[in-house]
Amino acid sequence: MDANKTYDVIILGSGPGGYVAAIRSAQLGLTTALVERDKLGGVCLNWGCIPTKALLRAADIRDTILDAENFGLSFSDSNFDIKQIINRSRQAAMRLSKGVEYLLNKNKVDVIKGEGRFTKTNELRISNNSDQTTTHNYNNVIIATGARAKSLPNIAEPNGTSIWTYKEAMTPQSLPKSLLVIGGGAIGVEFASFYLRFGVPVTLIESMPRILPSEDEEISELATKQFNDQGMAIKTNSTLKRLVAVSNNSVTAIIQNSNGSEENLTFHRAILAVGIVGNTENLGLNNTNVKTVKGHIKTDQWMKTHESGVYAIGDVTGPPWLAHKASHEGIICIERIANFDGVAPLNIDNIPSCTYSRPQIASVGLTEGEALENGYKIKIGRFPFSANGKAIALGEPQGMIKTIFDDKTGELLGAHMIGSEVTELIHGYTIAKTMECTEADLIHTIFPHPTLSEMMHESVLDAYNRSIHI
Amino acid sequence: MPINVLMPALSPTMTEGNIASWIKKEGDKISTGDLLCEIETDKATMEIEAINDGILGKIITPDGTENVPVNAVIGIILEDGEEASLLDDNNAKAIHKPDNNADSDAKKQIDNGVPNTYMESKQASADSEIVSKKASPQKNIARIFSSPLARRMASQAGLDITTIKGSGPNGRIVKVDIELALKNRTVDPDQGKVEIEQPGVSLDKTLRSTSPYEEIKTTNIRKVIAERLQIAKQTIPHFYLNIDCNVDALLEVRQDLNSRNSDYNISLNDFVIFASALALKQMPECNASWMKENIRFYSSIDISIAVAIDDGLVTPIIKNADQKGLGTIAKESRALADRARSKPMSLKPEEYQGGTFSISNLGMFGIKEFSAIINPPQSMILAIGAAEARPIIHENALAIGNVMSCTLSVDHRVVDGATAARFLKVFKGFIENPLTMLL
């Protein structure tokens, strides 16, 4: 670590926000340092997106195996080794983390193992893991320190044994005998879906009237039905009053139901998935003008904080807590710093959301409710998986693709999908929204047959009463 | 605040110069001391420097512009963080037209507070020149880049997309550019239509009242009225003429006619319709519409009468009103009004869309006088007040007479003050001397 070097950009945190910003920064010729206290790649790579998708893939394969007879195949047993399932996910994480290391080296980004902290205006003190500190005057600092799972003080605190957060949830020593998942957002739903499919009795509780409250209402409803059919117990409008670890192997939850009654339920394990809070502590932010609100750093559309020369990107700035949002914010931030031509602020309506449970859920833009609230007169198209050739051939007949258009201009306001592989399909609609396509462009696009993607076409046709296959 | 770059005086005697070439281009970052452009006079060519930091937001006088007067605005610099939308407002104030002797002479000829037409038409041509200068985004551009949504929105709004500056990739025109243009523009009078505000735009919090309220969705008829009258008020240069008519004689004639035949019930308004029609016949230049490149003179005299109905207002038309007798007019106006008020309204669109002149009468409510809003594409509307007993001067003495105040709203683009005044004089002549309507 060279204390004499003044970097053009110092980035704190190497998650999808930080490492992407670092690489772009180097591409644009800025001298860049990236400070990381743990593994490269941040939560996403190591304890989030990547390992969970590896785990969920194992669950998907198991589902197919359990259904093998339908396809004329037979397996003598459907055993599984939870340790190997987890091991594979850890290996995936490690492999990608090494990949990030390679990319940073290739782009000549100085990676500093340690933590950064503002000591006063214009001064950043970096202490590395060997307790050496260097002080840097900076030109630009980007805070990309990410976020962590929220706990519920006085109600439920993780204890590492029976009350889990995401970290323990993805590295269990053995399968729980029963599981309570608290929080019906994407993270809770994914864990619930994973464990359910390995035979764990799962109860999912959510304080809002429906699970996946940020998705379109119809999608929440369809997801709930499918989860119920798979054997998941779902309680909505239910609030956790208290979670007590009775022993290492038992937790009791006091839950207030929608009708106001309280019930005590006991489980082997519980997972807290009640939200995210930014990592804003220990940065010395009180020595700067950086403002935080509810545990997140306040920024403008160019990711600037209230302190000149200091920026913040990704989960630490607030919702949506998505890796691709962090990456794009990183790019926008760096390109503005580098005076790159033609940078536009992030359009929140064009950020897709994906949930990798079974069924998968993917969406972009406004929900039906949001579109109506905003005063739009809308056209809605729906197309079910059951009417799609490929879906039937695959043996995946459940799901739906819903599109919402501005009646007046034909603008695609939102697209909402539930079913097999939809997380891989949603990009088609995000491209359409980025290019400001209207329904005419989508109607004239030729989708290949036979694919699930054809449903995206038919959904648009349905919105204009022109669908052929339904 | 955007900063105007002015044509400097390179010497004490310099009055104007030419822009040789711009060194900085639109969108370039400017630092104090940077060379902006080269100016040439017959004596020398010199470069001018920037005295502020910022971005060169707009070049007003591009390369090769000649005879630019000293102190004319040649460019605009936006300071950090300012938006390009500020440029439009600035332009409107900043453009300096070369002095023209004819202009200043014309300025002196102002009659009765109504702007002189000669000066006005000079201004109009100057204005359109400015608009076209502003409109060309770049020289020699063969292709306009725009998103499908932007193209559709522009076409729905009747907006010429080539006049819009794009903020998208490679200068692409995108949705926000159209939204901004619609917010800023004054409506093209030819279209007679304006875009209804995009949904999702909410009233500034500071303008909201704290009183409790109930919100009811606007009906279609209310939307149409709002749209049309907003366009009319915003785009038509209205002026108003008022004349009081003594209706004593008219009231007697009316009483006489109505007593003879129970078939007819001729109202005061029917006389007004007839008199207007005859006045228009005498002054066909008032029976016209502004079509920008042309003025359309109508060959028939179709009078729209404003009828109040439950949720709003409709204007059924009496066609060829100059060719119908008073009795016919009375019958038709009564029938049309009844059908307008029926639920559901039984008027067909061709019975209320169109017309060449409008009459609005609020006399039955006791309104003394008022000014109405012209119904585009018509050029005039006559607002009739209550006929009431008022003190009048008769043969140099105070007397009492029945007087009706009439206010004519006129589109100044089509009809000028003197012409409109003459129309009213003729109209008054008919009203005050009803027998002349027989001629």
Q: In what order do the strands lie in the sheet with B3-6?
A: B3-6, B73-78, B54-59, B29-30
Q: Which amino acid is at B24?
A: K
pLDDT value of position B190: 46
Which residue ranges form the domains of chain A, and what is each CATH number?
Answer: 9-148+277-337 (3.50.50.60), 163-274 (3.50.50.60), 359-463 (3.30.390.30)
Instruction: Please check the confidence at residue A147 and state whether its pLDDT lies above 80.
Output: yes
Contact B223, B194 (CB under 8 A): no
- A:B CB pairs within 8 Å: 38
Rounded Cα distance between B273 and B359, Å, is: 7
- Taking residues A90-115, what's their average pLDDT? 95
Q: Which of A140-144, B353-357, B417-421 has the lowest mean pLDDT?
A: B353-357
Rounded Cα distance between A74 and A271, Å, is: 35
Of B152, B167, B200, Cβ closest to residue A374: B200
Of B148, B169, B175, Cβ closest to residue A440: B148
Longest CA–CA separation in chain B, Å: 91
pLDDT digits (tens, 9 = 90+) for A369-389: 999 999 999 999 999 999 999
Handedness of CA B14, B15, B20, B24 (dihedral sign): positive
pLDDT value of position B250: 94
Q: A410 and B149 in contact by Cβ < 8 A?
A: yes
Phi (first) and psi of residue A19, to 5 degrees: -75, -30
- Taking residues B249-253, what's their average pLDDT? 93
| Residue B363: DSSP 8-state | G
Of B148, B168, B199, Cβ closest to residue A376: B199
pLDDT value of position B418: 95
pLDDT band at A128 (very low <50, low <70, confident <90, very high): confident
pLDDT digits (tens, 9 = 90+) for A276-292: 999 999 999 999 999 99
Rounded Cα distance between B225 and B219, Å, is: 10
- Taking residues B321-329, what's their average pLDDT? 91
* Nearest chain A alpha carbon to B176: A436
- Residues of chain A with C-beta less than 8 angstroms from the C-beta of B153: 409
- Residues of chain B with C-beta less than 8 angstroms from the C-beta of A436: 147-150, 174-175
pLDDT value of position B33: 77
Q: How far is A320 from chain B (nearest CA, A)?
A: 21
- Residues of chain B with C-beta less than 8 angstroms from the C-beta of A374: 199-200
- Residues of chain A with C-beta less than 8 angstroms from the C-beta of B174: 436
B207/A6: higher pLDDT: A6
Q: How far is B57 from chain A (nearest CA, A)?
A: 14
- Residues of chain B with C-beta less than 8 angstroms from the C-beta of A409: 149, 152-153, 156
pLDDT digits (tens, 9 = 90+) for B364-410: 999 999 999 999 889 999 999 999 999 999 899 999 999 999 999 99
- Residues of chain A with C-beta less than 8 angstroms from the C-beta of B167: 344
* Nearest chain B alpha carbon to A301: B81
Which residue ranges form the domains of chain B, and what is each CATH number?
Answer: 3-96 (2.40.50.100), 140-185 (4.10.320.10), 225-438 (3.30.559.10)
pLDDT digits (tens, 9 = 90+) for B111-131: 444 444 444 445 544 444 444
Among B39-48, B74-83, B90-99, B400-409, the range of highest mean pLDDT: B400-409
Q: Which two tokens stand for residue A90?
A: 């850890």
Q: A436 and B199 in contact by Cβ < 8 A?
A: no
Q: B149 and A339 in contact by Cβ < 8 A?
A: no
- Taking residues A7-13, what's their average pLDDT? 95
Of B175, B199, B200, Cβ closest to residue A436: B175
Q: Which of A103-107, A126-130, A336-340, B428-432 has the lowest mean pLDDT?
A: A126-130
pLDDT value of position B207: 63
3-state secondary structure chain B: CCEEEECCCCCCCCCEEEEEEECCCCCCEECCCCEEEEEECCCCEEEEECCCCEEEEEECCCCCCCCEECCCEEEEEECCCCCCHHHHHHHHHHCCCCCCHHHHHHHHCCECCECCHHHHHHHHHHHHHHHHHHHCCCCCCCCCCECHHHHHHHHHHCCCHHHCCCCCHHHCECHHHHHHHHHHCCCCCCCCCCCCCCCCCCCCHHHCCCCCCCCCCCCHHHHHHHHHHHHHHHHCCEEEEEEEEECHHHHHHHHHHHHHCCCCCCCHHHHHHHHHHHHHHHCHHHCEEEECCEEEECCCCCEEECEEECCEEECCEECCHHHCCHHHHHHHHHHHHHHHHCCCCCCCHHHHCCCCEEEEECHHHCCCCCCCCCCCCCCEEEEEEEEEEEEEEECCEEEEEEEEEEEEEEECCCCCHHHHHHHHHHHHHHHHCHHHHHC
Q: Which of A372, A436, A439 to mutate to test the interface with B (most CBs of B within 10 A)?
A: A436
Q: B167 and A344 in contact by Cβ < 8 A?
A: yes
Q: Which two tokens stand for residue A225?
A: 């039905």
B117/A452: higher pLDDT: A452
Of A374, A377, A409, Cβ closest to residue B156: A409
pLDDT band at A78 (very low <50, low <70, confident <90, very high): confident
pLDDT value of position B86: 61
pLDDT band at B108 (very low <50, low <70, confident <90, very high): very low
Q: Does B149 touch chain A (CB under 8 A)?
A: yes
Contact B45, B38 (CB under 8 A): yes
pLDDT value of position B220: 79
**Mean pLDDT of all residues in chain A?**
95
| Residue B196: DSSP 8-state | P
Q: B148 and A437 in contact by Cβ < 8 A?
A: yes
pLDDT value of position B104: 42
pLDDT digits (tens, 9 = 90+) for B331-346: 999 999 999 988 777 8
- Taking residues B78-91, what's their average pLDDT? 64
Q: Does B156 touch chain A (CB under 8 A)?
A: yes
- Residues of chain B with C-beta less than 8 angstroms from the C-beta of A377: 199
pLDDT value of position A123: 83
**Mean pLDDT of all residues in chain B?**
81
Say whether B394 is catalytic: no
Instruction: Please check the confidence at residue B196 and state whether its pLDDT lies above 60.
Output: no
Q: Does B12 touch chain A (CB under 8 A)?
A: no
Q: Which of B25, B149, B174, B215 to mutate to test the interface with A (most CBs of A within 10 A)?
A: B149
Q: B148 and A374 in contact by Cβ < 8 A?
A: no
Q: Which of A136, A427, A444, A449 does the annotation list as catalytic?
A: A449
Q: Which amino acid is at B385?
A: G
Q: Does B152 touch chain A (CB under 8 A)?
A: yes
Q: How far is A371 from chain B (nearest CA, A)?
A: 9
**Cα-trace Rg, chain B:** 28
Q: Does B71 touch chain A (CB under 8 A)?
A: no
Q: B148 and A441 in contact by Cβ < 8 A?
A: yes
pLDDT digits (tens, 9 = 90+) for A164-211: 999 999 999 999 999 999 999 999 999 999 999 999 999 999 999 999
| Residue A107: DSSP 8-state | T
Q: A410 and B175 in contact by Cβ < 8 A?
A: no
- ipTM score assigned to the predicted complex: 0.81
Q: B147 and A375 in contact by Cβ < 8 A?
A: no
Instruction: Please check the confidence at residue B110 and state whether its pLDDT lies above 60.
Output: no
